[in-house]
Amino acid sequence: MNVAPLGGRIEIAGKSVSTVGFGTMRLTGPGTWGDPDDRDRALAVLRQAVHTHGISHIDTADAYGPHTVEHLVKDALYPYPDELLIATKVGLARPAPNMWAPHGHPVYLRSCVEASLRRLKVERLDLCYLHRIDPEVPLADQLGTLAALRDEGKIGHIGISKVTPEAFEQARKEVPVAAVQNVLNIRNRYDPVMEMCRDAGIPYVPYRPLDAGAAAPNGNVSAALHWLLASGPHIAPIPGTSNLQHLDSIVQGVNGGGWT
């Protein structure tokens, strides 16, 4: 990738990557279920994000599809550039379209990681998030499973997603937390975990940074992303789209905000 990293650089999971990443949740069918209507277009969006726009942080999850997007990432981008960080997430079962169920049993988490390794065609997941904390399973058991997989060389770094301040503090007692994903955008402006991550020097990865367009009033993507990037050097938003033109507008929004 011989282009400037989008939004500058940030270190996540031991890699220097573009501050603005790409979230892949929208590269599925309706309800985050099944294949996209136009698979070739989804592949083109991924390739354009990485090879044209210099995005080097791709965020996905086994629950997207389920499994659909991990296959798309591999088909679009493998063999992966050395500087590319692919983050995935485990711990959410998908019983039906638009339905999400936390599932943190250690056996299930281990099977999810093993399957993601195969789908992405890698020997190690550079960054693996616990997608949701399962309230029915002790957090120590959920993170302990990921830590064991890290010790086996199957996970590089562990992240957590959609966490309260209390869960954030508890998780940090169990494992080194490499990154946190929570909602933050100009419609949802306050998350105390963002400040806790800043104080701890942990990258904070806002998902839904544009809130499906609702956080970019009048299509002002630049203002929405500029607000996020100005919130701190530890902020690494992951806007997503399934449309090539919308991807271009996101990139222009970042560059238009002075973040080149």
Residues taking part in catalysis: 64
Strands (E), 94-248: 101-102, 125-130, 155-161, 177-183, 204-207
Cα separation, 57 vs 237, in Å, equals 10
Strands (E), the chain: 9-12, 15-18, 22-23, 57-59, 85-90, 92-93, 101-102, 125-130, 155-161, 177-183, 204-207
List the beta bridge partners of residue 181. Answer: 161, 205
C-beta pairs of 187-191 under 8 Å, 24+ apart in sequence: 187/211, 187/214, 187/215, 188/215
- Is residue 22 packed enough to be buried (19+ CB in 10 Å), middle (13-18) or exposed (0-12)? buried
Cis peptide before 138, with omega less than 30 degrees from 0? Answer: no
Measured in whole angstroms, the distance separating CA 249 from the mean position of its chain's CA atoms is 20
Count CA atoms within 13 Å of residue 126 on its CB side.
21
Beta pairing class for 101-102 and 92-93: antiparallel
In this structure, what DSSP letter does residue 260 have?
-
Cα separation, 15 vs 178, in Å, equals 11
